[in-house]
Amino acid sequence: MENAVLDSAEIGDLLKLLPHRYPFLMIDRIVEMRADEFGIGIKNVTINEPYFLGHFPGNPVMPGVLQIEGMAQTGGAMCLNTRKMQGSEPKVFLMTIDKARFRRPVVPGDTVHYHMTKIRHRFEVWKFRGEAMVGGNLVAEAEISAMMSEQS
């Protein structure tokens, strides 16, 4: 299957793939996508993120669950793009999160790179290994499973 790349000039394509919108869109763009095998999504973390109001006042830290969501959205974009290239437009649903680890805090000013690698794909279920990187350092990791469905 042909490589598909979405970048900041094509943010409209990303918005067409994912159902998420502000304030829950956790990736700003896809900088690399090799079908459903591998992809990199990017999130530029700013002090203007609404979750920093309460997490934590005076010491803003991006919640780990939102880092996992950024991984899931990157993997979801990969799945949805693959299926769209095959002529269907299903929805993707998070199924499992395994082996989640948080290594370092993510703070305003960081750029998070979500590296997603497909572990396997069987029928309508994909499993990915995700790594969140900031400045080349691992900040979070997890294995994420998602299911595709033609129904809502």
Residue 123 lies inside a defined structural domain of this protein: yes
Among 31-45, 73-87, 132-146, the minimum mean pLDDT is found in: 73-87
What is the overall mean pLDDT for the chain?
90
Peptide bond into 57 cis (omega under 30): no
Half-sphere exposure of 21 toward its Cβ, with a 13 Å CA cutoff? 3
Q: Which of 55, 113, 115, 121 is an active site residue? A: 55
Domain that residue 32 falls in: 8-149
The per-residue pLDDT for range 69-122, each reduced to its tens digit, is: 999 999 999 988 887 756 677 889 999 999 999 999 999 999 999 999 999 999
The number of angstroms, rounded, from the C-alpha of 98 to the middle of its chain's C-alpha atoms is 15
Question: Who has greater pLDDT, 20 or 64?
Answer: 64
Residue 1 lies inside a defined structural domain of this protein: no
Residue 3 lies inside a defined structural domain of this protein: no
Q: Percentages helix, strand, coil for the chain, rounded to the nearest 5? A: 25, 40, 35
Residue 108 lies inside a defined structural domain of this protein: yes
> What pLDDT, on the 0 to 100 scale, is given for residue 44?
96
- Residue 55 catalytic? yes
**CATH label of the domain that carries residue 99:** 3.10.129.10
pTM listed for this prediction: 0.90
Total domain count for the chain? 1
Write out the H or E segment, with its range, that includes residue 70: helix 64-85
Residue 2 lies inside a defined structural domain of this protein: no
Round to whole Å and give the CA distance between 5 and 39: 9
